[in-house]
Amino acid sequence: MSTPKIRLDAVSKFFGGSVVAVEKLSLDIRDGEFLAIVGPSGCGKTTVLNMLAGLEPATSGTMMLNGKPIEGPGAERGVMFQDYALFPWRTVRGNVEFGLVYGPAGQGLSPAERTERVERTIEMVGLTGSQEKYPHQLSGGMRQRVALARLMANEPEILLMDEPLAALDAQTRVILQDELLRIWGQDRPAPERRTVVFITHAIDEAVFLADRVAVLSSHPGRLKQIVDINLPRPRGDATRRSGEFARLCQSIWELIREEAYRATMN
């Protein structure tokens, strides 16, 4: 493997001086890989993502992106937030085009190209016909798709996603998992794929989507193990039914079972 896209070296994050959210996390994220991070609640998954996004500094350790230290947010790292963070005063279209209109992602695009990309992205997430609606007029699943479209329209190099499919019903979730893999580029050769860091609490989702699954332990958040997922691509329904898929889910579940029980019982 070539140099990593993102390198975390002994990254720790303390809150209020004493609460340890993440402890000595070292992790290389490769260019074009789909990395899922799973772990019980309290393992600092969201904190890791916020640090990668440049929204929170690390207390210690180094975070490098393309060999340069991460010092703040940047348009090359797009984020999809757990609670969507849609702009309530903008319509579906207004949200999706936001980064292209006001941010660097739209530079060099003509208005016609911009409109074309916005409409294409809205169509991709199945929101055509709802362009003029405001977020408060949409269901939870539709809001999540708006957030996904807003992220995709900017075409960032790296997609940082915090439980992006958590609020969806089971069917929509399966459909958007397939869609996400298509957008990421599972049908294309590896060099043409984007880099995805995908946080989830759903083990089956992580196994289905990812090239590698980073399993974190909680209190404090530490890297427990990285599991390679060598299921063939493109993946689809056949993957979900395969014995290898079930075996991988089971082995990851065993890694975190004890802690998950403890977290739930407390």
Partner 1 sequence: MSVVSSTNAKAAGPTRLGGVLVYLRTMALFVLAWYAGSLLVPSKLLLPSPLAVAAALRDTALNGELFGNALISLARLSASMLAAVVIAVPLGLLMGRSRLWNDLLELPVEMLRPIAGIAWIPLALYLFGIGHRLPLFIMFYTAFFPLLVGTAAGAAAVDRRLIAAARTMGLSRSTIMRRVIVPAALPAILVSARLAVAASWTAVVAAELVGAPNGLGYAIEYYRSMLSTPTVMAFIVTIGLLGFLTDKGLRQLSRVLTPWAQTGAAQ
Cβ at position 89, least distance to partner 1 in Å: 4
| DSSP 8-state assignment for residue 194 | P
**227 vs 238: CA distance, rounded Å:** 21
Q: Is 157 exposed, middle or buried (0-12, 13-18, 19+ CB in 10 A)?
A: middle
Q: How far is CA 71 from the centre of its chain?
A: 20
Figure out which of the listed residues 8, 48, 53, 176 binds partner 1, where binding follows CB under 8 A.
Answer: 53
Residue 77 contacts partner 1 per CB under 8 A: yes
Q: Is the previous residue joined to 220 through a cis bond, with omega within 30 degrees of 0?
A: yes
Is residue 141 within the footprint of partner 1 (CB under 8 A)? no
Nearer to partner 1, 75 or 263 (CB): 75
Q: Which of residues 177-216 bind partner 1 (CB under 8 A)?
A: none
**Interaction between residue 89 and partner 1 (CB under 8 A):** yes
Among 19, 26, 41, 73, binds partner 1 (CB under 8 A): 73
83 binds partner 1 (CB under 8 A): yes
Nearer to partner 1, 153 or 260 (CB): 153
Q: What angle do CA 204, 206, 207 make, to 5 degrees?
A: 65
Residue 104 or 129 with smaller CB distance to partner 1:
104
CA distance 126 to 132: 14
Tokens found for residue 234: 């493109």
Does position 87 interact with partner 1 (CB under 8 A)? The reply is: yes
Task: Choose the stretch contacting partner 1; rule: CB under 8 A; options: 19-27, 29-37, 76-84, 199-207.
Answer: 76-84
Residue 27 has which token pair? 């992790």
Stretch that binds partner 1, among 27-35, 53-61, 228-236, 239-247 (CB under 8 A): 53-61
User: Where do we find the tokens 């957030």?
Assistant: 147
The residues, any chain, with a CB within 8 Å of residue 89's CB and separated by 6 or more, are 134
Three-state DSSP at 150 gives helix
Q: Does 123 bind partner 1 (CB under 8 A)?
A: no
The answer to whether 154 contacts partner 1 (rule: CB under 8 A) is yes
Applying CB under 8 A, the residues found at the interface with partner 1 are 53-55, 72-75, 77-79, 81, 83, 85, 87-90, 98-99, 102-105, 134-136, 154
